[in-house]
Amino acid sequence: MRNNLQFYIDGTWVQPKSTTVIDVINPADESVVGQVALGDASDVDDAVSAARKAFETYSLTSIEERISLFDRIIAAYDKRVSDLALAVTDEMGAPQWLSEQLQVTVGVAHFQIARAALETYRFDEPLGTSEVVREPIGVCALITPWNWPLMLMAAKVAPALAAGCTVVLKPSEIAPFSGTILAEILHDAGVPKGVFNLVHGDGRVVGNALTSHPDVDLVSFTGSTAAGIEVARTGALTVKRVHQELGGKSPNIVLRSADLASAVEGGVAQMMLNSGQNCSAPSRMLVHADQVAEAISYAKAAAETWSVGHPSSNAKMGPVASEAQWNKIQRLIQSGFDEGAKLVTGGLGRPDGLDAGFYVRPTIFADVRNDMTIAREEIFGPVLVIIAYSDEEEAVRIANDTTYGLAAYVQGERVAAEAIARRLRAGQVYLNNVSLDLAAPFGGYKQSGNGREWGPMAIAEFLETKAIIGFREAA
């Protein structure tokens, strides 16, 4: 049993003011794998107060001091890789291979990238007779979800600390274990007290207390668009900066010039990774009408190689993270049937032989119109839809016909794919099934959010700009 019953505030582990404790459910078998304490507004007050006090000194640290701190954080993280991988598997059901090879490694990568960015980042620069100074914004509330817990926490904590800010982190109460270990890592690395604080809790109580707190200067939130709207509304009451990475319904345009088998198989693999629980997943595959039948054949074969099973097995895919998520996915699969889509593979219910746990069949629908529910709503599960287009103009129109704009994908001859990429309304466009670039800015257009994470540009999100006029003599 993993008991996460304390919070990390002002450099030490403390008892919560609240007495509320909930069970953490292992999605692989529905057993109780631990407990987590849920904080309240008074716990948030303590954490924010500690962060505010620490900001007075940490904001003045030199670049060299922060680089040294990041070196210690990376070294401490490396010592806990095995612990982190086990925690992620327990809390959100990621297969062991995925936890070890991706979930944990992308977490430390964000600290490494932020550390490298500090070596060349220009916090001050001349402009006419003025000096433009970029200073840390202040106390930052970081609210993260459960699907890539380490990556999403590190993607916020690393640039905030690099900028000179102090933070209060609220991980998902569904997947709290890795957040607790991250706090232990930062403590062991010697992060000054109050610079990093951790309060567990739910969005309704702790999340709301953070977003409405008058001493919080910035909120960085990753989650659903509906929740993001509430965060923005609450944050507006104190005119704080709100940075959001929200939902997606990303198109994957397969051009006629693409190697069809490779493009389709790669798209299926990117869709099924992490049980489809990826905000930037290529969930709408757009294929030329003349190639749809062949693409369906490739997609079916590819999806059926994605074995589903317990995280400790050799299966490619584990469960989704919770019963609520499983129920949502089943409802949306049913909507595909109800609205006339054609099931290619997968469908409702658990895969054969898996009677417990929140397992979903890798599912593909064809004959999908872009106005169907399964083409409009973010399913956040291993469900891919195939949509036919008649020409490239229609492909671009369908791709952009969504309230989201987090990511997009294009497969095909390089020059043509690049031209299409420039026309897509999305924060990231992936060409020819390329892998992640964690140094590239990540964030969305439209209702996929605002602001950017990852890489050097993420640091800018945690800075304010000051002009010192008359700093230089006129030429």
As a whole number of angstroms, the distance between CA 73 and CA 82 comes to 16
Helices 149-163, 177-188: crossing angle, 10 deg rounding: 30
279 included as an active-site residue? yes
Among 140, 165, 173, 279, the one annotated catalytic: 279
Q: Which of 91, 173, 245, 461 is catalytic?
A: 245
Asked if 304 is an active-site residue, the reply is no
User: Would you name the residues annotated as active-site residues?
Assistant: 245, 279
